[in-house]
Amino acid sequence: MGTMFQVVIPIFAIILCGFLAGRLSLLPTHGTSSLNYFVYYFALPALLFFSLSTAPIEQITNTNFIIINLVITLICFVVTVAIFKFIFKKKFPEVTMYGMITTYGNTGFLGIPLLIAAFGQEAAIPAAIATFIYDLTVITLIIVFFEAAKAINTKNGRKVKIVPMFGSIVKPILLNPINASLVFGIIVAFLEIPLPESFYVFTEVLGPAAGPTALFALGLGLSGERSILKNKEYNVSEFITLLSLKLIFLPLLAIFFVYIVFPIDDNLWATTIIILSALPTGAIVYVFAEKYNTLVKQVPLYILATTLISIITISIFLILIVG
């Protein structure tokens, strides 16, 4: 019960503050975008760059940690695609969008801030590495399947051009501010590039604002999403299946690999894998839903539903893991 008060309640109390600020009209709900932009373009990149650029090389190259994140993501993705292809009879490549819903978590605006709030600044390193693995794996899969299908359809089965597809993969993965900060941080750490002390002071001061701001913005955003709950563009069986895969199956799979298959000695790194696996669906999934005109009406509801329910499931996992 001590964990409940020391870790879980303070974190979700910040989310509640944002929610109440919106419901009581203390802040306009459209202000969520400004707060999220601040976190996405400034605070979080500063935090991740500082954490990785100053991290020991052996932490950045933690083999078991990298393998577990990669394997559980691929397993859940394949299982989801198989279920929606063979049980719900969905078409390819649309089934890959369901795979993204169950494997791409809200790491930037919930996962990393939550872990830092719960376990301190040192949690940023494993969280940053895991985030990059998720982006590299899931976004690549989605783009490859959809772009390949689109190229085949438009060219009537003729050979797909690789160069344009390669560009469409690299751009969203490496050129967004979060992943760019991760790449630069890793390069600085590996090459031991000397940077001015003022640069580190800047990132060290700006970075900690990411956690509380993102959590507060999440609550503020939830207060203005009541209209999404009225959405009827979904199938109940599919809805329950997605929730179960995202919030229960994936974190349980993570627990199995962390403690049995590839044991992680460092408890913080093990906890990071499990909590990031238990996150709700990330908002970027809607960006890809719109880009490929797939599940556009359903994805916002899935994102909101997994976010609301994850408040309970993440709390349970935190209590079970931390004690």
Out of 73-87, 149-163, 167-181, 198-212, which region has the weakest mean confidence (pLDDT)? 149-163
Query: What pLDDT score was predicted for residue 267?
Result: 92
Beta-carbon contacts of residue 174 (< 8 Å; ≥ 6 apart) = 180, 183
Q: Identify the CATH number of the domain in which residue 210 sits.
A: 1.20.1530
pLDDT computed for residue 109 by the predictor: 77
Rounded to whole angstroms, the Cα distance separating 100 from 3 reads 32
Domains: count for the chain = 1
**Choice among 34-38, 71-75, 147-151, 191-195 with the minimum mean pLDDT:** 147-151
Domain containing residue 285: 2-322
At residue 162, the pLDDT reads: 47
User: Per residue in 218-270, pLDDT tens?
Assistant: 888 878 766 665 666 678 899 999 999 999 999 999 999 999 999 998 999 99
Angle at 131 between CA 129 and CA 133, to 5 degrees: 70
Average pLDDT, the chain: 84
Closest CA to 60 of 186, 148, 145: 186
Q: Dihedral sign, CA of 260, 262, 263, 266? A: negative
Contact 40, 108 (CB under 8 A): yes
For residue 29, name the pLDDT band (cuts at 50, 70, 90): confident
Q: Which helix (H) or strand (E) holds 306?
A: helix 299-322
* The one-letter amino acid at 184: F
Structure confidence at residue 271 as a pLDDT band (50, 70, 90): very high
- Would the pLDDT of 147 be above 50? yes
Tell me how far apart the alpha carbons of residues 168 and 160 are, in angstroms, rounded to a whole number: 13
Is 111 within 8 Å of 279 (Cβ atoms)?
Answer: yes
